[in-house]
Amino acid sequence: MGQELRGAAPSRREALGLIGAAAVAAPLAAQAAEPQFPPGAVIRTILKDYAPSELAGGATLFHEHMSTRDGFMTDWLRHSAETREANRAPGTPARPVGPPAAAAGATPEPNFMADEGLMVGEMEAAKREGIGCIVDAGHPDMGRDVAFLRRISQRSGLPIVASAGFYTQPFYPADIGSWSEDRVFEEVMKQVRANPTGALGEIGSWDYITKDERKVFRAIGRVHKATNIPIFTHTGIPGKSALEQLDILEDAGVDPKHVVIGHLGNLADPNTEIQRAIIRRGAFIGFDRQGGAGDAPVVSMAASLIAQGYADHLMFASDFSSPRDLKKNGGAGYAKTLTVFVPKLKAAGVGEADLHKIMYDNPRRFLAFVPKIKRTA
């Protein structure tokens, strides 16, 4: 632990020195040695297994979405509004339920995550902007289509990691309450055997963690033990049940270094107590909805954690979901973590070496695993 927990923040003079060094360096140039990976470790993408060093040349995004079923986001927004309403403090005003277009009775927008030509263009743009590998956080209960991901990866040349698991209570199979933990384990193992699977994620609790969600987390811990495949999670706003997620996985025997507890930018706490508690146990934390309007509190939390010596445990991504963010619609595109969020950290004085570590090295350290089962295709 000692080396990772250096503790003291750099002095103002040291910090200024770092800024000066950053100004003359190439953008996010590699400044540290290549991280060490266990012998035999691979990053398992849909098309092939890579040695982790083969993906050193680009940034890796550990939590994005490129394929969901039609209507998934509409359902997601409706469940979010219902949860917000259920949690609303007495006497505070209600907020409108659902997206504005739905409220106005307009025709829903077509699902861009089913438009192959569009998505190939978006992946090509991300690649041009420095992305070397991207993880799709979907699985069957989100309507993720592996064949679609395979085609957009083939056509764009951008390596894509496909995931497995179950998402959160509102999206589980209706009868999951009657399933045993063994049944959940077997269902996830079936997914892992059916497709080349490089991550178990996003595995979530929607609000405070439910009985069924605990069962899924226990089963996912067992799948990890059976396969070595790494795990990333979804927490409800603001970081609800984050510590509990890690408790359950650790109880199942999972080493926290193979876990990202996700969406902790939603827990906007200048003291970063929960974030640091998770890091001290050896897991990564995800600031994974970045590259947009909500960046400001996360920039200061991330800069503070980096100044305290915790850069080895941070993971950045955007959890891409909005058509407004597509290049095609004038948005920043799938690379927005790198092109929008990272520059804000640089402006806040974070050094090149730390940012390189977080965008290029940490996701590969997280994704690299020594397979216990052979890839299927």
Count of CB atoms situated within 10 Å of the CB of 14:
12
152/154 Cα distance (integer angstroms): 5
Helix (H, G, I), strand (E, B) or coil at 80: helix
Residue (202 or 361) nearer to Zn ion, CB: 202
**Which span (69-77, 170-178, 199-207, 308-316) binds Zn ion, by CB under 5 A?**
199-207
Angle, vertex CA 247, rays to CA 45 and CA 364, nearest 5? 25
66 binds Zn ion (CB under 5 A): no
| Pair 200, 217: CB distance under 8 Å | no
**Which span (129-137, 145-153, 166-174, 274-282) binds Zn ion, by CB under 5 A?**
129-137
Count of CB atoms situated within 10 Å of the CB of 245:
28
Element housing 131 (H / E): strand 131-136
CB of 219 to Zn ion, least distance (A): 20
| Pair 288, 316: CB distance under 8 Å | yes
122 binds Zn ion (CB under 5 A): no
**Which span (114-122, 194-202, 241-249, 336-344) binds Zn ion, by CB under 5 A?**
194-202
Residue (263 or 344) nearer to Zn ion, CB: 263
176/183 Cα distance (integer angstroms): 9
CB of 268 to Zn ion, least distance (A): 18
Residue (70 or 182) nearer to Zn ion, CB: 70
136 binds Zn ion (CB under 5 A): no
**Which span (133-141, 207-215, 247-255, 266-274) binds Zn ion, by CB under 5 A?**
133-141
**Which span (9-17, 28-36, 276-284, 319-327) binds Zn ion, by CB under 5 A?**
319-327
Residue (199 or 307) nearer to Zn ion, CB: 199
Residue (319 or 325) nearer to Zn ion, CB: 319
Check residue 40 and give left, alpha or beta (phi > 0: left; psi -120 to 50: alpha): left
Residue (121 or 165) nearer to Zn ion, CB: 165
Closest CA to 259 of 223, 295, 291: 223
Residue (42 or 137) nearer to Zn ion, CB: 137
Please select the residue that binds Zn ion; options are 41, 66, 137, 278, rule is CB under 5 A.
137
Rg of the Cα atoms in the chain? 20
In the window 3-42, what residues touch Zn ion (CB under 5 A)? none
Type of residue at 4: E
| Pair 196, 162: CB distance under 8 Å | yes
CB of 198 to Zn ion, least distance (A): 16
| Pair 9, 125: CB distance under 8 Å | no
315 binds Zn ion (CB under 5 A): no
Please select the residue that binds Zn ion; options are 187, 312, 319, 352, rule is CB under 5 A.
319
123/366 Cα distance (integer angstroms): 22
Q: What are φ and ψ of residue 358, in 5° steps? A: -70, -40
**Which span (22-30, 221-229, 276-284, 315-323) binds Zn ion, by CB under 5 A?**
315-323
Q: Positive or negative, the Cα torsion across 257, 261, 264, 269?
A: negative
Residue (202 or 325) nearer to Zn ion, CB: 202
Residue (126 or 353) nearer to Zn ion, CB: 126
CB of 137 to Zn ion, least distance (A): 4
Task: Catalog residues that contact Zn ion under the rule CB under 5 A.
Answer: 137, 202, 319
